[in-house]
Amino acid sequence: MKHATQRIWGGRFAGEPAEAVRQFTESVSFDWRLYRHDIAGSIAHARGLAKIGVLTNAEANQIIRGLRAIEKKIEAGKFAWDPALEDVHMNIEAALGPVGRKLHTARSRNDQVATDLRLWVRDARIHTVHACRDLMRALVALAEKHRDIVIPGYTHLQRAQPVLLAHHLLAYVEMLHRDVQRFIVNVELESPLGSGALAGSTLPLDREFVARQLQLAAPTRNSMDAVANRDFVLSYLFAAAVCGMHLSRLAEDFILWSSAEFGFIRIGDAYTTGSSLMPQKKNPDVCELVRGKTGRLYGNLIAVLTVLKGLPLTYNRDLQEDKEPLFDSADTLLASLRVL
């Protein structure tokens, strides 16, 4: 029996990786965030294996109970993540004990992580759409409250024509509406489970059954594309970058309007900061940070595009680098939407 921390791929290797290699290649320090989706995928896979007789119903139920117990332990902050096990998948599988090794039947980490990411992006889209709509409602309420106020409208940052403040604010509602459409387009993701490392499985997997368990539209059609595809990550990152650009423009308007030169609005104390040297200052730091963080959203999109641009089919370890930019963009955008 292998030691609990021996790598799943270590069969032909006589020794352990160098410590520097272990630290360089581990991903559990960030991909632990996929745990809910990894567990959901594993439950669906266990049920699929039981359906075709690879697992007994008793074994499948034991695995499912174990996975749910692990999920509760993680959520309680009591799960000990082991970097020696490399990633979220192997940490959870090892925690299941001997029965967990059966769960790896007809599954590779390649189709496993491809499934986890799809489920994570689906949830991120939902959270982002809710946050966009919350800001839209706030802007509509502000427009209704000040529906009769007239301000200068600008072209070339020069006064052009008088416009209603409400009309100006509702322009951003239109932008956010388009953002919402970008986040929900192609929301029906497909299930890669059953694709294996790249060429599927010789077992008679019921991939349609597993896809239904995960509420995914259908199984993917091409196993090689299924494990290599990260278009759905790019789709989220692009939508996040465009949404961030819209928020940056809104923040810029608020920064200008709150300045002494414009004097249109006063930003509340709770959303500004002061100066340690100049006590008269009231700085629009929140708006400035929203504007500045847009650069991170752009950078994350370019980072993943750059990772993908030269990859031969199918899976390459480079794809480990898709997660941190994705997580960062989702966190950054949600924080910006909620603070404005």
Residue with tokens 């160098």: 18
φ and ψ at residue 159, rounded to 5 degrees: -60, 130
Give CA–CA dist 99/239, Å, rounded. Answer: 41
Give CA–CA dist 146/265, Å, rounded. Answer: 12
Catalytic residue among 89, 130, 156, 258: 156
Catalytic residue among 275, 276, 329, 336: 275
Q: Is 108 part of the annotated catalytic residue set?
A: no
Residues 146, 168 contacting (CB under 8 angstroms): no
Give CA–CA dist 301/131, Å, rounded. Answer: 20
Structure tokens that stand for 22 in this block: 């272990």
Residues 85, 29 contacting (CB under 8 angstroms): no
φ and ψ at residue 97, rounded to 5 degrees: 85, -160
Q: Is 275 part of the annotated catalytic residue set?
A: yes
Residue with tokens 């290797």: 13
Residues 82, 6 contacting (CB under 8 angstroms): no
Give CA–CA dist 119/41, Å, rounded. Answer: 9
Structure tokens that stand for 227 in this block: 């494990």
Structure tokens that stand for 49 in this block: 């294996």
Residue with tokens 């322009």: 171
Give CA–CA dist 244/238, Å, rounded. Answer: 10
Give CA–CA dist 268/287, Å, rounded. Answer: 12
- Which amino acid belongs to residue 218? A
φ and ψ at residue 160, rounded to 5 degrees: -120, -70
Residues noted as catalytic: 156, 275
